[in-house]
Structures are given as C-alpha cells and as structure tokens.
Structure 1
Amino acid sequence: MSTTPTALIPAQAAARLDDYTIIDVRTPGEYTAGHLPGAHNIPLDHLHTALPALKAAATRGNLLMVCASGNRSATACTELAAGGIPATTLTGGTTAWAGEGHTLHRPENAQAPWPMERQVRFAAGSLTVLGLAAGIRWRPARWLSAAIGTGLVFSAATNTCGMAAALAKLPHNQPRTTDLDATLRTLQG
C-alpha cells in the first residue's frame, strides 16, 4: 500500500522554514549549485545510511525533504515512512522554490557540476549521436541510438530515470565521506 506524502508548496514552506529540518536529497553537485537555506545534503541513494540520524532529527522537529522537482523528495518521504519516520516533501522542489522568487544558498567559490537533468541530456544525446555515427561503418551500432531513445520514452512514461540513477553513482556526484559523516553527526544532535 503506497501513501502520498504530506506536501508543502514553496510559499507555505517559506513561511514555516524555521519549523523544519531541511534535507536535500539531490546529488552533492546539484546541492552545491543552489539549495534552500539551512538544508542538509543527504543524497537519495545514501538515505538508508542516514535513517538513524533522520529518526533522531525527527524526534526534535519536522523533516522537510527537498529535491529539484519533488519526485525524489516524495520517494524519500515514502522510504522514511516505511522506517516509521514522518516527513514532508516540497512540491515542485528547488525549481518551484526559485521560480517563486525565494533565494537559494550557494556556497562561495564552490565548483558545482552540471545539474543532473543536464548530465542526462548530455549523456543521452552523446550516446545517440555515437550510435548513429558508428552505424555508418557498422550498422548494428545504430541499436545504441534505438536503446537510448527507448530508454527516454520509458523514462517519460514511468517518471523515473535509470540514466540519472547511473550518473548519480559517478564520483563527482557522490558526497565526500567526511561531508556525509558531518551531516549525520549534526542531525544526530
């Protein structure tokens, strides 16, 4: 049985920001590019490691899960709910937050990799062109382009992205162990 997580729109969240411990579940690069003030970065694929710290933080106050669009944060809320940890998601994520004129915090002198959506577009486009170009000399290479196109259609139909999940595992999209450990110690409180 799936449940829909509690959600706040950006205006509601902005009015009550101090009432929440904000957890940004995007990749470290996306987080560095701009996040809600006071947000802690725990990438979605590291959420299981953070469950004890998040449980401790939830006993002291409400958790607000944030991502770029609201999809990953809703997934995080569902995973937390399965662990008995209540959490709220920000509808529309940082995109909606910034779109309504709220500020995003960007660390000074931070080098942020491209946002995940841009990484996916670059990888998918590059692989498609590679498949077509290689297909000139070796016809079966065109299947690479067909596979990427099929993956994009599946991604749109299911609102998931296998390529983003794979790209999130690249080193530049991973938190440094020291950063994640410091975040978890802070949340343990």
Structure 2
Amino acid sequence: MTIEMLSPRQALKYLHEGAKLVDIRDADEFAREHIAQAQPLPLSAIEQGATLPVSADDVVIFHCQSGNRTRNNLTRLVAAAAPAKVMVLEGGIQAWKTAGLETIEDKKQPLPLMRQVQIAAGGLILLGCVLGYTVSEAFFLLSAFVGAGLTFAGISGFCGMARLLAVMPWNRR
C-alpha cells in the first residue's frame, strides 16, 4: 500500500481540483480550529467502522494535528475511504498553518480535552513539588498521585482526569 504524502500546497491544489479533505482529529479539536474545506471524521468513529461515501474516482486527503495519527492509522484510513484514492497531508494542520494557509479558529471553544489534561496534570505535579519543598514533604504525595494516575491512564486507556474535565461547565456544548 503506497500512500502519497502531500505538502500543504500540493494538498491545496488537489482541493481546488475537487479532492475531499478529511480531518481525523477529535470533535473538540476540530471545533477549536480546522481547515475550511475539511470535513470531520474522528479517528474514533473510523475505529468503530465509519466510512466515507466516496467513489473510485474520488481523491480523499486525510489529516490530523501533526501527521502522526494519520501515519499510524493508514490501513484504517484506506479502508474508510475505499474505493477512493487516499492521500495524506504531511505534517497535518500544523504544516498547513506553517505554510501560511488559513484555518478557521474559534477561540470561544474550549481547549481540546487532552491539552486540558496536560495542563491540569502538569499544574498539580508542579504544585505538589513547590508545596513539598516549601510547606511539607507530604505534598510530594500529590505529585506521586497524579503520576500514578497518568501511568494508569496510559496502561488501561481510562483517564479519570479526562472524564472529570469533560463534565466541567466550560466543556459543555
């Protein structure tokens, strides 16, 4: 299976010729910022069997944030777009912006959930360290607790902090 990797300018040329651009990032990432011509089809939906209504004459260009998700899931993407020709926007939306091409950004939308988890976890670990050095060594347990939670999330796929943040008022749509 050979998939053509496209620069942002090459992808734009294909879009002008009628190609479909598909954004496989999560819905919260898409809501915050996306390429105008892109249609959302989250990787999680593709993993559950979602497909695109395309023909053999169609060209589908997939993209994500940085290109990693598309590279790591090429087989799934090809299956979701069969029988169309599949291409990948190398470097994702980050490369698109670096090339000076426009995106639609809605700063009123909350940050993507995983960024919120990173901010919260990093802040709690930092707080535990600062309080551990300045107030009481017992505060180091806060950092250990967050580290254990992140380890558990990585092993099990369940992130309690993400579940908690998802129901916060700023994340309700």
TM-score range relative to shorter protein: 0.5 to 0.7
Structure 1 counterpart SS, 2:76: helix
Q: Secondary structure at the residue paired with 1:22?
A: strand
CA distance in 1, matches of 2:75, 2:127: 38
Q: Which has the larger radius of gyration?
A: 2
Number of positions where the alignment pairs a residue of Structure 1 with one of Structure 2 = 158
Identify the residue that residue 108 of structure 2 maps to in structure 1: 111
Call closer, same or farther: CA 1:129–1:106 in 2, change over 3 Å.
closer
**What letter is aligned with 2:145?**
L
Contact 1:23 1:63 survives alignment (8 Å): yes
Please state whether the residue corresponding to 1:143 is helix, strand or coil.
helix
Which residue of 1 is the match for residue 137 of structure 2?
136
Q: Structure 1: how far apart are the matches of 2:92 and 2:64?
A: 5
Matching residue of 1:72: 69
Aligned residue for 2:22, secondary structure, equals strand
* Equivalence for 1:26: 25
TM-score when normalising by structure 1: 0.63
1:35 aligned residue? 34
For residues 39-84 of structure 1, the C-alpha deviation after alignment (integer angstroms, 9 at most, x for no partner) is 1112211113453x41x32545111111110111223433133567
Counterpart Cα distance in 2 of 1:104 and 1:165: 32
Which residue of 1 is the match for residue 90 of structure 2? 91
Alignment identity in percent? Answer: 28
Q: For residues 125 and 22 of structure 1, what CA distance do their matches in structure 2 show?
A: 34
Structure 1 contact 66–93 (Cα < 8 Å) conserved = yes
**Residues 24 and 66 in structure 1, CA contact (< 8 A), matched pair in contact too:** yes
Query: Is the contact between residue 126 and residue 143 of structure 2 (CA under 8 Å) also seen in structure 1?
Result: no
**2:54 paired residue number:** 57
From the two aligned structures, give the one with the greater strand fraction. 2
* Per-residue Cα deviation, 1:70-124 (whole angstroms, up to 9, x for no partner): 11122343313356735221111111101111111346xx732114663243033
- Cα separation, partners in 2 of 1:162 and 1:142, compared to 1, 3 Å: closer
Instruction: Tell me the TM-score normalized by structure 2.
Output: 0.68
1:149-164 alignment, distance < 5 Å: 162=154
Instruction: Name structure 2 gaps, 5 residues minimum.
Output: none
From the superposition, tell whether residues 162 and 61 of structure 1 become closer, same or farther in structure 2 (CA, over 3 Å). Answer: farther
Whose RCO is larger (CA < 8 A, sep 6+)?
A: 1
Flag structure 1 segments of 5+ consecutive residues without an equivalent.
152-160, 177-189
Shift of 1:141: 4.5
- 3-state SS in 1 of match to 2:54: helix
More helix by percentage: 1
* Cα drift, residue 22 of structure 1: 1.2
Distance 1:138 1:112, change over 3 A: closer
